[in-house]
């Protein structure tokens, strides 16, 4: 096991940020922690990175206890916080050099690990970190987190605020790093990124809802999902909100996702109900549920 979390709790005054979290991440796994803002993701990351003490419970990262062996632990993990936190007034090269040196390493020593990422920002190595674009800042932060060849890499919402193309590229880089033997623990509020992980854990309001591979999570989902398209989404949402058989209804991109409270149901009946309520151009089809549907369902309870 690369990561063992058992019964971790943490409160901030009245707010219970984490409630008895237990989780295991295998060696060399790309593990995703999926949850909305305020679910407790960052708190868990800070505990695992030895920046915060849990109120209860134990955690073990790469064989080191986060409380007792924090000194050893820090040598063996890479942590990239959600907020860009390198020195903005130092250049790309100086930042990288600084972090390499304080880990008693050098850029040359682990160059092959960061090469794929660093070559993309190397043309700008004399530029101050503060003057980089968002995507390049992220690459620099990742390089700095990797420069000491950590066993476990913690990435706290690395793609928040990054454009879709760069996000794709970023996940490509993570896959490559995984092949080099690094265990990656990544959090994200984007459900579409969950499918790219080996296994995921849903977290909401400080509780782990489910842990499994993305495909198994979708496969084991019992409900059928009806995808409804109409130009008047808001009206349809209101109508189905007070429909007697509605189990759940929520906007999903440009359409609505509907789940019925009955085990078997005729989806045409639902569409007709909408049409009877004078909603124009209603179309719909049954689709296989996506990860977001599962999460919406889990977080309802």
Partner 1 sequence: MKIVFIIIRKEFKQIFRNKAMLPIIFVLPLLQLIILSNAATYEVDNIQVAYIDYDKSLSSRKLIEHIKGSSYFENPVYFESPALAEEAILKDKVDLVLEIPNHFEKDIQNASHPRVAVRINAIDGATAGVQNVYIQKIISNFNKTIQLESYNPAQQSLNYSSIESVTSFWYNQNLNYKTLMVPGILVLIITMLTLFLSSMNIVREKEIGTLEQINVTPIKKWQFIVGKLFPFWMIGLVLLSIGLLIAKLVFNTPMLGSTLLIYAYTSLYLLVILGMGLFISNFTDTQQQAMFIAWFFVVIFILMSGLFTPIESMPVWAQNLTQLNPVAYFVEIMRMIMLKGSTFKDTGVIFMKTFIYALVMNFLAVWSYQKKN
Considering beta carbons, is residue 75 or 175 the nearer one to partner 1? 75
Q: Which stretch binds partner 1 (CB under 8 A): 57-65, 75-83, 267-275, 291-299?
A: 75-83
Pick from 25, 44, 47, 49 the residue near partner 1 by CB under 8 A: 49
In degrees, to the nearest 5, what angle opens at C-alpha 161 toward C-alphas 155 and 162? 80
In DSSP terms, 6 is beta-bridged to 58
Residue with tokens 């490559």: 176
- CB of residue 218 to partner 1, shortest distance in Å: 35
Contact between 291 and partner 1 (CB under 8 A)?
A: no
User: CA-to-CA distance for 1 and 27, rounded, in angstroms?
Assistant: 5
Residue 103 is a binding residue for partner 1 (CB under 8 A):
yes
Q: Is 51 a binder of partner 1 (CB under 8 A)?
A: yes
Q: Cβ 268 to partner 1, closest distance in Å? A: 54
Return the number of other C-beta atoms located less than 10 Å from residue 248's C-beta: 17
Q: How far is the CB of 148 from partner 1 (least distance, A)?
A: 8
For partner 1 (CB under 8 A), the number of binding residues is 25
Q: In the complex, what is the shortest distance from the CB of residue 155 to partner 1, in angstroms, rounded to a whole number?
A: 13
Q: What is the closest distance, in whole angstroms, from the C-beta atom of residue 235 to partner 1 in the complex? A: 44
Choose, by CB under 8 A, the member of 32, 35, 54, 81 that binds partner 1.
Answer: 81
Each residue 144-183 as x (binds partner 1 by CB under 8 A) or -, in order, gives x---------------------------------------
269's enclosing H/E stretch is helix 267-276
Question: Could you tell me the two tokens for 91?
Answer: 């250049």
Angle of helix 164-179 versus helix 134-146 axis, rounded to 10:
10
**CA gap 24, 290 in Å, rounded:** 24
Q: Are strands 246-252 and 283-287 parallel, antiparallel or unpaired?
A: unpaired
For residue 112, count CB atoms less than 10 angstroms from its CB and return exposed for 0-12, middle for 13-18, buried for 19 or more: exposed
Positions touching partner 1 (CB under 8 A) are 49-51, 71, 74-75, 77, 79, 81, 83-90, 94, 98-99, 101-104, 144
């Amino acid at each position: 096991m690369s990561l063992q979390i058992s019964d971790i709790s943490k409160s901030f005054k009245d707010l219970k940020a984490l409630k008895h979290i237990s989780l295991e991440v295998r060696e060399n796994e790309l593990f995703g922690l999926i949850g909305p803002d305020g679910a407790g993701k960052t708190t868990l990351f800070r505990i695992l990175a030895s920046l915060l003490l849990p109120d209860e419970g134990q955690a073990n990262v790469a064989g080191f206890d986060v409380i007792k062996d924090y000194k050893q632990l820090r040598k063996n993990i890479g942590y990239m916080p959600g907020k860009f936190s390198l020195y903005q007034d130092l250049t790309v090269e100086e930042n990288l050099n600084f972090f390499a040196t304080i880990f008693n390493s050098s850029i040359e020593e682990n160059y092959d690990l960061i090469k794929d990422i660093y070559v993309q920002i190397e043309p700008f190595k004399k530029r101050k970190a503060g003057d980089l674009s968002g995507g390049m800042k992220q690459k620099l932060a990742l390089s700095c987190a990797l420069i000491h060849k950590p066993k476990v890499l913690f990435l706290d919402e690395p793609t928040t605020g990054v454009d879709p193309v760069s996000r794709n590229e970023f996940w490509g880089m993570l896959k490559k790093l995984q092949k080099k033997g690094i265990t990656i623990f990544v959090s994200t509020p984007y459900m579409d990124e969950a499918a790219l992980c080996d296994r995921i854990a849903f977290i909401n309001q400080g509780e782990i809802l489910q842990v499994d591979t993305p495909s198994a999570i979708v496969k084991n989902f019992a409900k059928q999902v009806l995808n409804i398209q109409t130009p008047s989404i808001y009206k349809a949402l209101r109508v189905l909100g007070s429909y007697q058989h509605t189990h759940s209804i929520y906007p999903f991109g440009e359409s609505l996702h509907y789940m019925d409270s009955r085990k078997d149901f005729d989806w045409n009946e639902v569409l007709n109900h909408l049409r009877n309520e004078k909603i124009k151009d209603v179309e719909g089809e049954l689709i296989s549920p996506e990860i977001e549907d599962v999460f919406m369902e889990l977080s309802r309870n």
